[in-house]
Structure 1
Amino acid sequence: MPADLNDWMNKNNNKKPSFEPPKFEPPKFIKGGSGLALIIIGIIIVFGILFRPWIIVNEGEIGILATTGKFSKEPLYPGMHFYVPVIQKVIIVDTKVHMISYKRIQEAGTMPDRYGTIKVYPAINVLDARGLPITVELSVSYRINPDEAAYTIKTYGLNWEDKIINPIVRDVVRNVIGKYPAEDLPVKRNEIAMQIETQIRDTLNKIDHKPVIFESFQLRDIVLPENIRKQIERVQIAKQESERAKYEVLRAEQEAQKQAAIAQGKANAAKIEAQGKADAKLIEASAEAKANIIISKSLTNNLLKLKEIEVQGKFNEALKANPNAKIFLTPGGAVPNIWMNIDDKKKALSNGK
């Protein structure tokens, strides 16, 4: 190769290219050192938006923190709590009062609510002391123990109600109802309800860690077999008739006692009235007797003679004024004076002819 050609090639190879890429220079605020902090903050914001490493626990709820699948014993109470996504998660558990209602028919308005705090199960079928089928309707109210929520979910799972409450309620109802004959159930309803509530409460309290807090119990209905129900109705009707007959007898006795009391009262009143009249007459007679005694003591012969003369004078005056007077018998001393009507004497004489 000629020397001049080699020189030309070497000269061209040593030339710089006419286009050079632009050099990147970081902004001044990054060169100052504060840029790194802003980058970290931006990364945290993006991470927070994507993974949301916090959770809010509401009232009536409890949070269970699970780290790589292991539950924390301490629950997360209402408020805001932070956790590490992917590695940790929070399970929300409802701590409000729940209810299981055992019914024969699922009526409108008794469907489970949207929060799952009300559940409707079929009525409980049991056997009485003689083996007769009985259907029982009842309701049970309860809530999870917040302090033992982690243990409860870890041991029984999220369907802990079906594993704890439902079996206990059914077993207790069967044990209690099975002690009584069917015809005694309506009469001893309150006694049976108290036994069921007490046994449910005691059984729940015996479970390790006491996962459930028992609130209340209601025995709604005891459905008896048709033949037993009719027999009870007949017995009740007979008892009512017997009670009514006793009432009628008692009423008749009371009426008789009332009439006897009225008659006795009237007799006593008449007796009292007669006694009063007799006493009044006796008093009057006694007073008259006393008056006569006083009068008789005051009469003397001279006074009587004087009164006789006065009366005789009045008769004489009367005869003068009325010569045709009727007969007058006037006692006067030893011999009474007799005054006769003269016309009557003439008539008598003329009639004698």
Structure 2
Amino acid sequence: MILFIIIGIVLLIVSFTLKSNVSNPFSKFSNLLRAIGVIVIALGVFSSMFKQIDAGKVGVKSLYGSVETDVLESGLHLINPLLDVTNFDIQTQNYTMSAIHGEGALEGDDAIRVLSNDGLEVVIDLTVLYRVIPNEAPKIFKQIGVNYIDKIVRPVTRTRIRDNAVYYDAIALYSTKRSEFQLRIFKTIETDFKNRGLVLEQLLIRNINLPSSVKTTIESKINAEQDAQKMTFVLQKEKQEAERKRVEAQGIADYQRIISSGLTDKQLQYEQIKAQKEIATSPNTKIIFMGKGNAPVILSDK
């Protein structure tokens, strides 16, 4: 668009130059060049009156350094051709700071190194999910510029994480207080972002790396706790087994006491008859009863 206007102006200058120089054999083309120049300028001006804003973006209008407060939504707009329109992405964006090469927004080790409450260095990898508030895009453009990632997102995130890490010791950050720490830094960064026209959608702590000596201490502590839990389980099992045996022994003792106090000769004879009947009905046994009295002799062919 601007290029068309520039080309048209050049053609007009050339046409006037040729017209003033009658001896030049190309002077007869001056009127044609003037007409073409006017047409090209008209096309440039007409095309610059239309501005298309892609989906997920808004356009910030400025005229000679003065930024207008309203924005252009996605779609085709008819505007003042002298306006300069700057596009702002309002979709969710992410910024990752990682110690692993190729994962972060910057090349190399870009993890955040903080000092914990106990004076140890902790390395934190995280991802920030954020987006631009559409109506705040003119304010961002005027006060910060289009490079709000390097000016706001990155420095604010790193500073707030360092400021809040000092309230926790290294082991707590690594284990029990990780969720609390993440929520705490989310609230502080969310406030800072909102004051600058950004919405913090989510803050993801991807990894927390501790010094090797601290890792060894934590692993030893975890192993000791697991051994203690295992021993507690074993003791509980042994107590349950001892209780079971005690109940079983008590039941046997009660049974023997009941039997010994209520057992008669007729009952013994009845039990003997039952046992003999079971033996006699066995398909693999032949039984012969001999003798008289309460205890006959039993002969078998087996």
TM-score, normalised to structure 2's length? 0.68
Q: Does 1:176 align with 2:164?
A: yes
Structure 2 match to 1:127: 115
Contact map agreement 2:104 2:110 (CA 8 A) in 1: no
| Aligned mates of 1:187, 1:254 — CA distance in 2 | 33
Contact residue 117 and residue 168 of structure 2 kept, 8 A: yes
> How is 1:35-184 mapped onto 2 (pairs within 5 angstroms)?
43=39, 46-48=42-44, 51-85=47-81, 87-107=82-102, 110=103, 122-184=110-172
Amino acid at match of 1:82: L
In the alignment, structure 1 residue 220 sits paired with structure 2 residue 215: no
Confirm or deny that 1:252 pairs with 2:242.
no
Stretches of structure 2 lacking an aligned partner (at least 5 in a row): 1-34, 268-302
What is aligned with 1:229? 215
Partner of 1:193: 182
CA deviation profile, 1:183-221 (whole Å, cap 9, x unmatched): 22222212211212122223333x2xx500111111111
1:204 aligns with 2:189: no
C-alpha distance 204-98 of structure 1, shift in aligned 2 (>3 A): same
Give aligned pairs, total.
231
Cα separation, partners in 2 of 1:280 and 1:60, compared to 1, 3 Å: farther
In the superposition, relative to structure 1, how do residues 76 and 120 fare at CA in structure 2: closer, same or farther (>3 Å)? Answer: farther
Partner of 1:293: none
Instruction: State the match for 1:240 in structure 2.
Output: 226
The aligned runs of 1:10-29 (5 Å cut-off) are none
Give aligned-pair identity as a percent.
Answer: 27
In the aligned structure 1, how far is the partner of 2:115 from the partner of 2:192?
A: 21
CA positional deviation for 1:269 = 3.3
Deviations 1:253-310, CA, capped at 9 Å, x for gaps: 11111221222223233334445536986xxxxxxxxxxxxxxxxxxxxxxxxxxxxx
One-letter identity of the residue aligned with 2:77: H
Q: Sort the Cα spacing of 1:278 and 1:192 in 2 relative to 1 into closer, same or farther, 3 A.
A: farther
* Displaced runs of 4 or more, over 3 A: 42-46, 48-52, 118-121, 269-281
SS of equivalent residue, structure 1 residue 104: coil
- Using the TM superposition, give the Cα deviation of residue 230 of structure 1 relative to its aligned residue in structure 2, in angstroms: 0.7
SS of alignment partner, residue 262 of structure 1: helix
Could you say if the C-alpha distance between residues 273 and 134 of structure 1 is closer, same or farther in structure 2, counting changes exceeding 3 Å? same
Relative to the length of structure 1, the TM-score reads 0.59
Structure 2 CA distance for aligned equivalents of residues 66 and 280 of structure 1: 117
Residue pair 1:63, 1:76 contacting (<8 A) in 2 also: yes
C-alpha RMSD of the superposition: 2.9
